Structure 1
Amino acid sequence: MLSKIDIQNKLERQREKTFSAEVLLASFKKILENDEVQRAETLTKLNASSNEVVNNFNIDKIDSSAIFHISQIKSICANYRLRFLSSKHFKEQYPAEAISKIHEVEKIHDTTLGGFKIIAPLEAFKLKKADDPLLFAPMGNGYYYLIHKWGTDLHPLRKLKYWSFKNVENLLVVLTIMSIVFTALTHPFFLPKEPSFGYLLMLFMFYFKGVVAMFFMFFGGSGKNFSEYSWQSQYDKIS
């Protein structure tokens, strides 16, 4: 009667014909040690990244969907009040997937990457809090290659929330609308029942000067800057 085949036993026998279990274990440990060394070296590069590095990519193996120009990055950072800074300023832990992705890209392009930069909120570079970081490697001439994205997505209303802080023009629009609303709501308390345009304009200018003064007193006093001017600044205040 034929006996059943023990696949594990067959595998063990085949292994004995080539390498012993001890040799394979030693080989596997060597691979792990080399992998740990490689990961440590990559983390060192991330924590000491230089902006002057230009990486060499294999043009035939580039994923076109991962290429972004500095102008596009600037637009996104300004709209969502994000920073685009060297990875050495990033204070969070890098996920294992990000390190593995760097090694994968390096292997595909037969190169060693450096000069990493990250898109993230300012808090990700200063505090233990991060939303939606994106890791890039410079390609030269203002182009960047997206290596990995991790974390949680940004709030859908973040762009609206920080729209007024994008630039001076947006701020003036918001302050003007606020002044018009205040004028419409309060003019019955200060003006005749049917005030002329001149009276309304006078009350509007009173509110406009007031809200502008208050905004710059608090916003300017905090040392903050508009998103269009601070998206590449490594400082949380105007320097």
Structure 2
Amino acid sequence: MRLSTNIERELNKRRAKDAPEGSILDQIQGILAANEDQRQDIHTRLRSRATSDANAFDLDQLETDRIYHIDTIKSICVDYRLRFLNAALFKSEFPEEAISKIRELEDTHDTALNGFKLMAPSKLFKLENADDPLLFAPIGNGYYYLIHKWGNDLSGVRKLLVWPVKNFDNMIFSIFVASILLTAISPMGVFTNKEVGMPEYVMLFLFMFKAVAAVVLYYGFAAGKNFNTAIWNSKYYNA
């Protein structure tokens, strides 16, 4: 005769011996309450405007491929016209996955993290008057630890599109190239019936250069725009 064992029944018997049903529910409720309190505390610290330059990480537990120096972060922000600002300025809610990553880090390193920073396009921040966030926490000495990334990747052409406003030299070069192109496609016959030579093209180029430069400067001042090198860590939309 084949003997069989109902494992679920055995589990129920052992559980009844180990702890009463009410006690188990109380323990689970306590664990869930503690977890929720910890998550709420993380939300509060993410929204705090208090600054911190370092956290008490256990260096042996850090993943080296997630550590970045401020110079590296700045170079990426300048190339792609991103901002690196206090996480409290983030417009949207932080995803629960990011909260879980922070909670996991804090348990691993036995510390409460502060001074969170976010790398993202300007439109994702609540900037003060004067598609891809990355959440960091400061380690110290200018180094930051990447906690979590969410959202979509940046467009592949973003770097090219924002290249003209990376700095003053890039803008002048872009205006110069645009003026050459506009001069090349301009119908010179509209301006004169005579044979067109190099002097006429030079004069038209100078006119185009001044016109393009005037439009760019007007737009820049009117919209409060600035170069990537100036705004990467500015919390103001017009500075």
Normalised to the residue count of structure 1, the TM-score between the two structures is 0.93
Gaps of 5+ in 2: none
Deviation at 1:137, TM superposition (A): 0.4
SS in 1 for 2:35: helix
Q: Give the aligned residue type for 2:197.
A: P
What is residue 231 of structure 2 aligned with on the other side? 230
Distance in 2 (alpha carbons) for counterparts of 1:52 and 1:30: 32
Aligned residues: 234
SS in 2 for 1:73: helix
What is residue 207 of structure 1 aligned with on the other side? 208
Distance in 2 (alpha carbons) for counterparts of 1:52 and 1:2: 68
Distance in 2 (alpha carbons) for counterparts of 1:60 and 1:117: 22
Q: 47-56 or 15-24: which moved more?
A: 47-56
Distance in 2 (alpha carbons) for counterparts of 1:193 and 1:51: 67
Distance in 2 (alpha carbons) for counterparts of 1:81 and 1:114: 25
What is residue 110 of structure 1 aligned with on the other side? 110
CA contact (8 A) 1:50 1:116 kept: no
CA contact (8 A) 2:52 2:114 kept: no
Deviation at 1:235, TM superposition (A): 1.3
Deviation at 1:215, TM superposition (A): 0.9
What is residue 28 of structure 1 aligned with on the other side? 28
Normalised to the residue count of structure 2, the TM-score between the two structures is 0.93
The superposition leaves residues 173-223 of structure 1 with CA deviations (integer Å, 9 ceiling, x where unpaired) of 111111001111115233643402x33222111110110001111121111
Structure 1 residue 89 corresponds to structure 2 residue 76: no
Structure 1 residue 164 corresponds to structure 2 residue 144: no
Deviation at 1:53, TM superposition (A): 3.9
Identity %: 44
Deviation at 1:49, TM superposition (A): 4.0
The superposition leaves residues 133-191 of structure 1 with CA deviations (integer Å, 9 ceiling, x where unpaired) of 10000111111011111111111111111111111111111111110011111152336
Distance in 1 (alpha carbons) for counterparts of 2:124 and 2:196: 53
The superposition leaves residues 214-239 of structure 1 with CA deviations (integer Å, 9 ceiling, x where unpaired) of 1111121111111110011111112x
Map 1:16-165 → 2, pairs under 5 A: 16-126=16-126, 131-165=131-165
Distance in 1 (alpha carbons) for counterparts of 2:133 and 2:20: 45
Distance in 2 (alpha carbons) for counterparts of 1:20 and 1:122: 55
SS in 1 for 2:180: helix
